[in-house]
Amino acid sequence: MIDYDQEFDFETEYEDDADVDEALDNLIITLGEKIVEEETGTQVIVPHRVQHVMYTYKLMKYLCKGSGATVQYFLHEPFTSVGYVRVTGENLEFGHPEWFDRAVELADNLDICPLTNGKIQMDFTFHGITKHID
C-alpha cells in the first residue's frame, strides 16, 4: 500500500515551478507503475461481479425502454479489473426508484455528467471483475 502523504510529499512548500513539475511527474510515474503492477500477472474473472455488471445493464436497458437512451456495457475497460455500464440520453427519467437504487448499490460509484451535444452521460463503475490468482 502506498503512503501517499509520504510518497508525494504533500506537505512540501514548493519553491518554484520546477519543484511542482517534478512532484507531478513523480505522481504520474508512481501511479503508472502501480497500474502496470495491477495489470500484469494472471487474473481470473470474478463471475458474480460480472453478473452485477450484466444485471445493471439489463435493468437500465429496461428502465430506459422507449426513452431513446443508449445503454452499453464495457468489461475490462479502462483496466482489466474494471467494467462499467454507460447510459447516454437527452432526458433521462426513471420510475421504479428502488430498482435504480439497487443498480447504484451494486456499482462502486455512479457519475453523471453533461456532454457537449446536449446529452447526459451516466456511468456505473464496477471494480473487481477480475482478481489475481497469485
Partner 1 sequence: MAIKCWDILNEVLTEATSQFAPTMTPNYDRVQKVKIFCNHVDTFAAEMDATEYHVNVNEENTDITVEVTCPLVYVEDRGDAFYKLARVSERFGFKENKDGDIVVSFVIPGVWEGLS
| Interface with partner 1 (CB under 8 A) | 90-95, 97-98, 100-101, 104-105, 108-116, 118-120, 122
Of 77 and 105, which has the nearer Cβ to partner 1?
A: 105
Q: Given CA atoms 101, 103, 108, 109 in this order, what sign does their dihedral have?
A: negative
Residues 6+ apart with CB under 8 A from 71: 57, 60, 61, 64, 85, 86, 87
Q: CB 87 → partner 1: shortest distance, Å? A: 9
Q: Is the CB of 29 or the CB of 112 nearer to partner 1?
A: 112
Inter-residue contact 23 to 14 (CB < 8 Å): yes
User: Residue 114 Cβ, how far from partner 1 at the closest point, in Å?
Assistant: 4
Cβ at position 57, least distance to partner 1 in Å = 18
Strand partners, 124: 85, 110
Residue closer to partner 1 (CB basis): 33 or 108: 108
Question: Which residue number, 23 or 120, has a Cβ lying nearer to partner 1?
Answer: 120
- Which residues does residue 86 pair with via DSSP β-bridges, in sequence order? 72, 123
Distance CA 78, CA 80 (A): 7
Distance CA 96, CA 92 (A): 13
